[in-house]
Structure 1
């Protein structure tokens, strides 16, 4: 059996850093918004807001980190808080995101949780799928970026200007950097 108190995997620090970069980008965007813009409804039925997507991202991080804090080995993303204040008030959401960043930063230096189980709902039962902290961190980056890409589309409709890199997966950003370096004249390439 894998020890719950082993050293973090070599990948954990890199995965934590990707999540920290993702959350920091989201936090900066959220902190700059007025509540009216954050709550502005989009879509034919008005079901989409920037705040709802932000709250959804926060809920997933809370599910993982709260479970780890309680020493649980089963992670269930369906058991989310769904705190409506986080989708209504951007400053509250920005503060919560900062707290998540602080909690995540502790993961790459503390004891590792090698073996986790993901509860995945299927019809009337939940499947129990083997997972790990590293796998869940990779999922959270991708899940967050997916919702941030939707946020970017909604923001564009509201004439909210975001950086080109907002909602772009870190692997894509690394690819863009490599392509840029390869296309640079030899005198301008990194040594």
Structure 2
């Protein structure tokens, strides 16, 4: 098992180590309706839903903590990401990734409708890591608009990084 899931969370930790409170909370409207903090909170919510499901075997991605301290405070977000990072180290080193989970998520944009399906912990880790990278791409644009640089491949999908490095 690679440390790929851990690496994704460590990207957030690196970002949180180097962002001001003002930049974390700033909403650059009309281009964005969410701050960096809102994106990080959303990422943390998904990882936390998966982490919290570990003992019950039931993941509910509909449970979110909108407007929580994680969204407002880079320090709170950093603490949550470090907790997720520790959990990932534990489960990845203990070979628990094949554990079955039942996933609940809303899927209908016109009506309130959730579906339940079977999955595995690792498949859901693939989802939450990919989902995080998607949000990192948006965070990358926000930080660029704030005049701040991020690491070269922050917000890039792994397959895109592979393509770019092989094409170089």
TM-score normalized by structure 1? 0.78
Aligned partner (choices 123, 139, 144) of residue 132 of structure 2:
144
- Cα distance between partner residues in 2 of 1:91 and 1:32: 11
Q: Which runs of 5+ in 2 are unaligned?
A: none
- Structure 2 matches for 1:17-166, cutoff 5 A? 17-44=3-30, 47-68=33-54, 71-82=55-66, 84-110=68-94, 112=96, 113-121=98-106, 122=108, 123-166=111-154
CA contact (8 A) 2:52 2:59 kept: no
Name which structure has the greater RCO, CA cutoff 8 Å, separation 6+. 1
After the TM superposition, which parts of structure 1 deviate over 4 Å for at least 4 consecutive aligned residues?
none
Partners of 1:74 and 1:67 lie apart in 2 by 5
Q: CA deviation at 1:156?
A: 0.8
Gaps of 5+ in 1: 1-12, 181-191
User: Larger radius of gyration, structure 1 or 2?
Assistant: 1
What's the Cα RMSD here?
Answer: 1.9
Count, aligned residues: 164
